[in-house]
Structure 1
Amino acid sequence: MSLTTSTGYLYAAILLAAGFTFVLVTMTVANLLAPRRRTPEKLQTYESGEVPIGSAWVQYPLGFYIFALLFVAFDVDIVFIITWAVLFKSLSIFGFFEILFFIIVLALGLVYAWRKGVIRWI
């Protein structure tokens, strides 16, 4: 191990120890100085400045969850397509057919979700 490598590890260890020390000290000081009186106002449920009406345990339709999952899936796929577009010139014709297959599979999934009525919001 060279001298520069060992000093790099030493700096990293010092930074890690300083970070842990800072977190522990600030949490301890905040815990010691924080007020502890419980009042009815502090114990009341808070929802965006409005008094909540009814129970918070509301069952949402399953379609909302499936719609959200579809959104996340297509959102993540866009990341792959953008990465492919950046590397398009170096991938040659194989890269083109690879992304074409990828988009066809996505389109088939979208058609399947559409036929099942998942995309219909109401």
Structure 2
Amino acid sequence: MPPMTSSPYFSLAILFFGALGFGLAPLGLAWLWAHTFAPPKPNAIKNAIYECGLESKGDAWVQFRSGYYLYAIIFLIFDVETVFLLPFAVAFTGLTAGACLAMLVFVLLLVEGLAWAWAKGVLTWQ
């Protein structure tokens, strides 16, 4: 029978168990530390709701207006546009006509989205 180290999966098994130990060892040490040096002592003060040193008053559920979400989505769309335009601007002189045409289509689609948002009144704060 050949030795175990000649198997092609032996190194993968070692790496797998090493990665598993690398992830689980800190968790196990933290659990051991918590139970050895800081045993749980629940009481009314420790179980009270605490936020920034103030007692909470009323219901924490607050419904936000949908306008905030629309602004956030539009911001993300045009923020991602700048991420895609930066490499294009850096490499502009070395690009082919097809690449410039593709970027023009990309920008026109974003302008269309901006025009749609403007026509729907998403950009007007009420």
Contact 1:88 1:95 (8 Å CA) reproduced: no
* Structure 2 runs not aligned, ≥5 long: 1-9
Query: Following the alignment from structure 1 to structure 2, what is the Cα–Cα distance between the partners of residues 41 and 77?
Result: 50
Letter matched to residue 27 of structure 1:
L
Contact 1:46 1:52 (8 Å CA) reproduced: yes
Mark the CA change 1:55 to 1:30 in structure 2 (over 3 Å): closer, same or farther: same
> With structure 2 as the length reference, what TM-score do the two structures score?
0.69
> With structure 1 as the length reference, what TM-score do the two structures score?
0.71
Superposed CA deviations along residues 27-83 of structure 1, whole A, max 9, x for unmatched, are 123223323222333323333343333212111111111211111122222221112
* Structure 1 runs not aligned, ≥5 long: 1-8
- 3-state SS, counterpart of residue 81 of structure 1: helix
Instruction: After TM superposition, list the pairs within 5 Å mapping 1:1-122 onto structure 2.
Output: 10=11, 14=14, 16-34=16-34, 35-122=39-126
Query: Following the alignment from structure 2 to structure 1, what is the Cα–Cα distance between the partners of residues 112 and 48?
Result: 49
Superposed CA deviations along residues 3-41 of structure 1, whole A, max 9, x for unmatched, are xxxxxx94x765553342133222123223323222333
Bigger radius of gyration among the two:
2
RMSD: 2.8
Mean CA deviation greater in 112-121 or 73-82 = 112-121
Name whichever structure is richer in helix by fraction.
1
